[in-house]
Amino acid sequence: MNNSVTLKDIAKALNLSISTISKSLNDSHEISTDTKKLVLDYAQKHHYLPNRMAKGLKEGKSRSIGVVVCSLENNFAAQMLDGIDSASTDKSYQIIIMQSKESQKQERACIELLYAGGVDGILISPACETVDFSYLQSLQDSGLPVVLFDRLSDEIETHKVGADNFKGAYDATVHLIKNGYKSIAHLNTNTILNIATERLNGYKQALEEYKLPYRADFLRSCDYTDTKKLNADLEESIKYYMSLKKRPDAILTSTDQISTRCLALLNKLGYKIPEDIALIGFTNTDLADAFNPPLTTVHQPAFEIGQLAASKLISLIEKKSQEPEYETILLDTTIQVRASTRARK
């Protein structure tokens, strides 16, 4: 730690007791205006800053919250982190960010570190590998507030904040249908994440409502844990689609990476978008309009998800007394129409 000035130093310098200094700095009513001013001036002048660790130790809380995401490099995660940071800073909480790198084991390590670090609560978007929430559950049972965001799971009961993935996929599929596409494929992840099944269900629901058949061979899952594997899976899937007798005329992709890689691969394989095949994808990249062609996207309110999740966690932290009514909040997605889904003639 740094050798900053402490209460003791000020006390000595001003010939007052430590507690008088403490009270002055905390603007206690039981201190005279004169001494207060004296202390405050001295503190200001010597750049006094309360030691966070001492305060935390004393008060039994650290005013810090732990955040676990799959990866910092993930643009979507970064947008949510920005929202989390915004809400936390507003309420003067510090955030400690950890990466699970989609590994359940590493995620567990992150949580332990955060717990040991004395965080007042945990915000987590689980690794796609994660199936076991018992550790998190036990922490919660022992009094540590936990809030899930983005990737929600039924395995743990708490506040959850995410996007309305069902509706997003539904809207995307309807958008394609209304633009004249009738054979719509769906590229998803191979994970057991809820967001994957919800998106699949939204897609199915739209097909059903518009009396289009659901074809099992139009649904492909790609390995999400490894980028190389994902690319390989994607390329194989695209080739497979295009080799079908009745091949799809559009694809709905379900994650950031799948959407952008799919577009790049279609280009690489020489297919014209949307003439040969249209594409709409879940992604929050702000580069969609630089793509070839500009990509129609399903945009998720990432910043807001982070912000809301952090607010929920903080309110949980600050009024632990009441038994909370846990709620699941789904924020609306929006379709951003661009050239990759131009109306079919």
Beta bridge partners of 188: 221
Tell me which residues in 34-93 interact with its own copies (CB under 8 A): 49-54, 56-57, 60-62, 71-73, 75, 78-79, 81-82, 85
Q: How far is the CB of 52 from its own copies (least distance, A)?
A: 5
- Kindly tell me which residue out of 192, 232, 287, 343 binds its own copies, with binding defined by CB under 8 A: 287
231 scored as a contact of DNA (CB under 7 A): no
Using the rule CB under 8 A, which residue among 28, 134, 292, 328 binds its own copies?
A: 292
**287 contact choice in DNA, its own copies, none (CB below 5 to 8 Å, kind-dependent):** its own copies
Contact 263, 287 (CB under 8 A): no
- Least distance CB 22 / DNA (angstroms): 4
φ, ψ (nearest 5 deg) of residue 90: -55, -40
Q: How far is the CB of 14 from DNA (least distance, A)?
A: 8
In terms of CB distance, is 72 or 343 closer to its own copies? 72
Contact (Cβ atoms closer than 8 angstroms) between residue 256 and residue 287: no
Pattern 248-267, binding to its own copies, x per CB under 8 A?
A: ------------xx-xx--x
CA-closest candidate to residue 193, choices 128, 105, 282, 101: 128
The Cα 16–Cα 43 span in angstroms is: 13
Q: Choosing among its own copies, DNA, none, which partner's interface includes residue 2 (Cβ < 5 to 8 Å by kind)?
A: its own copies
Beta strands in 151-286 (DSSP E): 159-163, 184-189, 219-222, 250-253, 278-282
Binding mask 91-130 for its own copies (x = CB under 8 A): ---xxxx-x------------xx-xxxxxx----------
Given its own copies, DNA, none, residue 20, with its beta carbon under 5 to 8 Å by kind, binds DNA
| Residue 276 identity (one-letter amino acid) | D
CB atoms within 10 A of CB 256: 19
Q: Give the residue with the Cβ less far from its own copies, 210 or 271.
A: 271
Residue list 4-63, contact with DNA (CB under 7 A): 6-8, 15-20, 22-23, 25-26, 30-35, 50-51, 54-55, 57-60
Partner whose binding site includes residue 134, from its own copies, DNA, none (CB under 5 to 8 Å by kind): none
Q: DSSP letters of 194-228?
A: HHHHHHHHHHHHHHHHTTPPP-GGGEEEE--S-HH
Q: Which tokens sit at 344?
A: 């079919």
Q: Which of 243, 176, 239 is nearest to 210 (CA)?
A: 176
C-alpha to C-alpha distance for 246 and 208, rounded to whole angstroms: 19
Name the region of 255 (left: φ>0; alpha: ψ -120 to 50; beta: rest).
beta
* β-bridge pairing 296-299 and 334-336: antiparallel
DSSP code of 288? G
Residues of this chain that bind its own copies (CB under 8 A): 1-4, 49-54, 56-57, 60-62, 71-73, 75, 78-79, 81-82, 85, 94-97, 99, 112-113, 115-120, 139, 142-144, 260-261, 263-264, 267-268, 285, 287, 289-294
Residues of this chain that bind DNA (CB under 7 A): 6-8, 15-20, 22-23, 25-26, 30-35, 50-51, 54-55, 57-60
